Structure formats: C-alpha cells, structure tokens
Amino acid sequence: YISVKEVAKHNLSQDAWVIINGKVYDVTHFHEHHPGGAAVIVSNAGTDASEIFNSLHPPGTIENHLPPECFKGRIDPAALAKANAARTAEKQRTLAARNALPPVETILGLDEFEVGETSVMSEKSAEYYRGGALDGISKDDNKSSFKKCRLVPRVMRDVSTIVPQTTLFGLPSALPVYISPASNAVLGHPDGELNLTRAAAKTGIVQGVSYVASYPLVDILDAKAEQDEREGEPMGMVYQVYVRPDRVKTAEMIRTAIDGGCRALLVTVDSNIGDFRQSVEKLKGTTGDAEPGRRMQPFTTFAPPHDPSLNWDDLDWLQGIAQDVPIYLKGVSSVEDVRIAHERGVKGCILSNHGGRQLDRARSGFDSLRRIHEQDPALLQKLEIYVDGGARRGTDVLMALALGARGVGLGRPFLFAQAAYGERGAIRAVRILEKEIVTAMQLLGVSRLDELRPEMVECLGEFWK
C-alpha cells in the first residue's frame, strides 16, 4: 500500500496526487487539461477526492482519460478512513473560522490579512504561503530591509491634488504597485487566482500570472476577457515565464498568454532548480538520504521542473517567440546582471529573491535597488527597474520609487487577502495601499510620483555622514 502520509506530500499544482476509490493517481500533468477546470483537482490534491469525483463522473472515466503510468498504487483502507475523518473535522474547523472572521472593511493594514489567512487554512497550506528557504533569513530580510531607511519630507507644498497613477510594464496602473505572480492561490480559496484577476480589473492595477498558477492559464485569460467586457477596457496582465526542459511546451504557453492579452513577459531567472523550504518539507514528513554520496564526482543529473541550462543566449529565442511583447527578467540581484540585461536589450529587471523561497541569504530586492542607486544610478534611466518582495506599506512603495524603481510588486499580501476574504479581500488590499500611498505622498510634499527624489530617503549607514 501507498501511505496516506506519502500522498499528502503531493498537494500542489506542480506536484498533484489524488486518491479515487482506493487508488492513487498522479494528475500533475492532467489537471490543466481537465474539462471541469484545474481548481477542483488542485484543491483536493494530496487527499481522497472520491466523493466529489463520483458525484460528477460515470464509472470508467479514469480509465478512459488517464494513461496507465498515472496509477501509482493502492491506499491502505483503514488508514484512509482515519485520514478522511480528520479531514472532515478540519473542514468544519476552517468553515467555522471563516464565518468568524471580522468584516473585511475592518482590516486596516496588509499584515492583518495574514492573521485571518492562518485561521482559515490548514497548517500545511498556510506554511506553504509563509515559508521561506532554509532558515528564512532572506524571507525576513525582505521586510526588514525597508526598516533600515526613513523618509525626509518636504513642507509648504501644494498637495491638494494627488496623482498616484503610473505606467507599469507599459500598462496603465491606478497605483505604482502590481500583484506579483504566485502559485497555488487555490490553497487558500476555491477561486484562487480568479479572485486576483477580478480584483485587479476592478481596481485598475496590473496582475502578474504565474506559469504554475493553480488555475489553468486559459481559465485565467477567460476571466480576464469577462472583466474586460464588464469594465469596457482591457485590464493590465503580464505573464511569468518559467523556462522548462520542454522548450516546445514553454513556447506554447507563452503564445497562449500573449494571444490572451498578456502584454509583457516576466522571465524567472532565480529559480532554475528546485528549492528546499525546510519548514514546508517538515510538515510534509519528507525524509533524507543517509547513504554515502558521490564524493568527488560532479553533479550533472537533476530532475527539476525548470531548465537549469537557461542562460543569456536564450533571450534571443524568447524574444523570437514574444515578438514585440517586452521581456523583463524576474529575480535579479546583481548590479552587473542588470548591466548585462540592458546590453542584451531587455526592457527591464525585477529585483527579487523569489520571496526568500530560493537561495537563503540572497539580497532583498530593496537592498539590490539601493546598491544600483549607489554604484550605477544611470542604469535606472536606461531600463525599467521594479522591486518585488517585502513591501507591506505605502511608505515602502514610495521609498522604492524615490530611489528609482518604477513600481513595486506584492505577492504574499494578496495571497493572504484572497485566502481570507476572496475577491473582496484582494480589493480591500488595493484600497489599503491606495490610502497609504496617497496619504504618504501628501505628507512627503509630492503631488505626483515623478516628484519623488532620492534625497527624500536616507538609510542606515548614511545617518551620521
């Protein structure tokens, strides 16, 4: 028998197993083609989906649609019954927790969403959102890096009219922030990424869509089309590209995104191999190898979801697929890499350490921006620079803009907001940022974003110069 514990490890869109009528199936590469949508599968990944499956499908459906190699084995019936009882109790707990949440209008800061998110999700799912690589140093540093700086306001300026609108990735945006692409939003709420699409369209900000979103790309693009029709104008959407070993599949996904209205490609460059998020793996019950290793032999064999051979020369291939759609590199930290990106004709760079989920101790996006400002500020005029990671306040956003960033991406706050409150939570998150940005602009003495200046920010190490 396959253990229930083993099945539970495979509970993500990029690694999805389900139990159906006592049998275990790997549906990782099937769910995005599921006629009923991927969300119903991903939301049940790692668990027994027999009840909902049998209510919707006739006998023989699996045999007719899944190849034999997707069958992994049988589950222990006694262990499954015990696990299902525990799952039922957990569903009742989360339902009660969701009903007990305070009204979304009472949420006054982005960090408050995380409290609500934690109560309505399982411990494993919540840790997937919160977790960072290894010791979580980079994850924590993303937020704390903003605390190293303070603002220097100007006074006696007319701030009776405030204009926070801007252009991000070549798209109009109501605020200098965008929703960073992130995976598995459905772990927090059944509508997952669709909550974010609707909220972005209704508030006028740009949504980044992940290659590994829990909903299939076509479903998200359909939701975009519905919102475009309802709002009377196209919403801003950009697509995060992970270059996979199957380059044909990667190219196909890029073309689908562009045809569906995505107006920029964010090519992920800091995630060419898998990560190790220790806290998440602990909850999964992952074990390691205690056998002798390969000693002096090189490591050349990997089975990552992404292509570890990705390099600068691949930009020509990517631009050939994208045609006139601009390419941005997501996950850059080094000033030298930003220079190379400019030389290679890239439209811009997103300074990020992947939310602290890849290389622990990697520099934060905001600190990378500071380094560019100190070492080569002319770069900030040559290509678009964005900061992704750690921002939780409107003042964080304005500090980044003052130092030369065009915009700031937020990922976890929007995941937390939609997990707790769905679409309305994501909208509330935007309104919180709007109020904080507008208020801070007035207090800083600027009426437009282009009036922000580097001298309005001073950081640790500069205080006593």
If we measure between CA atoms, which residue out of 305, 430, 370 comes closest to residue 145?
Answer: 370
Residue spans of alpha helices (H) in 288-411: 314-322, 335-343, 365-375, 379-382, 394-402
Q: Fill in the DSSP letter of residue 412.
A: H
Of 10, 31, 354, 373, which residue is the catalytic one?
354
List C-alpha distances in Å: 405 to 1, 81, 452: 54, 54, 11
Alpha helices in 9-76 (DSSP H): 39-42, 50-56, 61-65
Residue 48: half-sphere exposure toward Cβ, Cα within 13 Å = 23
- 354 catalytic per annotation: yes
Measure CA of the first residue to CA of the last residue in the chain; give whole Å. 68
Structure tokens, 346: 């890239």
Helix segments in 297-382, DSSP class H = 314-322, 335-343, 365-375, 379-382
Nearest CA to 231 out of 199, 262, 264, 194 is that of 199
Amino acid at 122: S
Length of the chain: 465
Residue with tokens 């070549």: 170
User: What is d(CA 4, CA 76) in angstroms, rounded to the nearest whole number?
Assistant: 8
Give the whole-angstrom CA distance, residue 33 versus residue 176: 35
CA of 380: how far to CAs of 1, 27, 405, in Å?
A: 58, 44, 7
Q: Which are the contacts of 88, defined by CB distance < 8 A and separation ≥ 6?
A: none
Coil, strand or helix at 232? coil
Alpha carbon distance 224, 200 (integer Å): 10
3-state secondary structure (DSSP) of residue 272:
coil
CA distance 426 to 415: 8
Give the DSSP letter string of 104-134: GGG--STHHHHHHHHHHS-HHHHHHHH--ST
**186, amino acid identity:** V
- 56 with 97: CB under 8 angstroms? no
Q: Which residues does the annotation mark as catalytic?
A: 354
